[in-house]
Amino acid sequence: MPEGYASNLEKRAYMNEGKLIGMKSHDCHVFMETLIPIAFSHLPERIGKPIIEISLFFKDLCSGKLLESSLDRMEENILVTTIKLEKIFPYGFFDVMEHLPIHLVQEARLGGLVYDEYSSVQHLQLVKEVALGPESQVLIMNKYCVNGFKFQTEEVCRNKKTNNSGVYIQGDTDGTGQTIEYYDVIQEIIEVRYSGWPKKKIVLFRCEWFDPSLRGTKMDHQHNIIEVKHTRKYRSYDPFINAQNAKQVYYASYPLCRDKADWWAVIKSKPVGRIEIDNVLDVTYQNDVAIV
């Protein structure tokens, strides 16, 4: 099996006792949905077919997509499959749990995908851990690579020929419907961590933004050049941004224009090894089988 697909089932098999011991819930799903049809395919049809049918029933029920027509078919077939199983196994084997699959189709109609039920529990745990707040200690970095960009702090780039400290982010729209863009250089790169497992972290850029108003940022529509006044800062205190939302820019001065000594031209960089797509597809991609 691929790495991370399931536990090492070989260690769970006890040949002398003929048992599988210590399997996790996901291992049981993998065993039932994928291995049972293969292992029991050589049995006589009256024995192997009902077991394979119950295996395929749970595989369809736990898939990432359920159609109403499929639910109707599953609801009819599970009754027949349960009766077939009663002819194979002794009556003492059947209790409430063995008859539970009959009601699972109706639960899927009312509650949605089985995947979503487990995801909601995981999301609640995630929300709880984040609500407790970050750890008291943070990690300070001087460079960070994200979204095809290599960012560095202003201090690191000060004596270099290259400059990776320029950053910009899109904000809300103004009264005219235009998106406000904020420009600056990165002062600090901070990694904030949260407790719990798996480890959760978020990387923040601390910036002192240039004034996004017309006094500090202007657009030369004739030459399609954005200019910022580096001596004028944004008055509101809002220095931190998520590194995932940042895009890279670099600035060019006007050494021959005295009237533009305080102004820099903004040049937007392109990510390395990536193609930017503005529109976002409203499609959710989901595997039929969860990955441990």
Give this prediction's pTM.
Answer: 0.55
Helices assigned H by DSSP within 112-213:
114-131, 154-157
pLDDT above 60 (res 183)? yes
pLDDT digits (tens, 9 = 90+) for 111-133: 776 655 555 556 777 788 888 88
Count of helix runs (H) and strand runs (E) in the chain: 7, 13
CA distances from 115 to 33, 65, 103, 111, 210 (A): 15, 10, 17, 11, 46
- Strands of 147-273 (E only): list them: 149-152, 166-173, 179-194, 200-207, 217-220, 225-229, 240-242, 247-253, 263-268
Backbone φ, ψ for residue 274 (5° rounding): -135, 155
pLDDT digits (tens, 9 = 90+) for 242-280: 999 999 999 999 888 888 889 999 999 888 776 666 554
Omega before 239 cis (within 30°)?
no
Top-ranked range on mean pLDDT: pick from 50-59, 148-157, 191-200: 148-157
Quick one: pLDDT band at residue 88, thresholds 50, 70, 90?
A: confident
68-88 and 101-111 helices, crossing angle to 10°: 160
pLDDT above 50 (res 288)? no
Burial group, residue 271, by CB count within 10 angstroms (0-12, 13-18, 19+): middle
Helix, strand, or coil (residue 128): helix
Q: Which residue has the tokens 């292992």?
A: 39
Residues 207/190, Cβ–Cβ less than 8 Å: no
Residues 113/290, Cβ–Cβ less than 8 Å: no
Q: What gap in Å lies between CA 289 and CA 74, rounded to an integer? A: 19
Q: What gap in Å lies between CA 100 and CA 184, rounded to an integer? A: 61
Helix, strand, or coil (residue 111): helix
- Token pair for residue 123? 């999301």
